[in-house]
């Protein structure tokens, strides 16, 4: 989430909307969890 916020600020946005969190279980014995976050950077006036 911090990286999502930082990348939005780098593009001049002041908010992120439509945030989606996804996860997937990986590895032998399902010992790892991969989580990804995505959203749309916007400027709110």
* HSE of 45, CA atoms in CB hemisphere, 13 A: 0
* pTM of the complete model: 0.73
> Using one digit for the tens of pLDDT, what is the confidence trace for 1-45?
999 999 999 999 999 999 999 999 998 888 899 999 999 999 999
- Range of the structural domain that residue 37 is part of: 2-42
Q: How many domains does the chain divide into?
A: 1
Q: Which DSSP symbol is given to 1? A: -
């Amino acid at each position: 989430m911090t990286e999502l916020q930082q990348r939005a600020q780098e593009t001049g946005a002041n908010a992120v909307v439509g945030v989606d969190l996804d996860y997937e279980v990986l590895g032998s014995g399902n010992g790892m969890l991969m989580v990804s976050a995505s959203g749309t950077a916007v400027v709110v006036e």
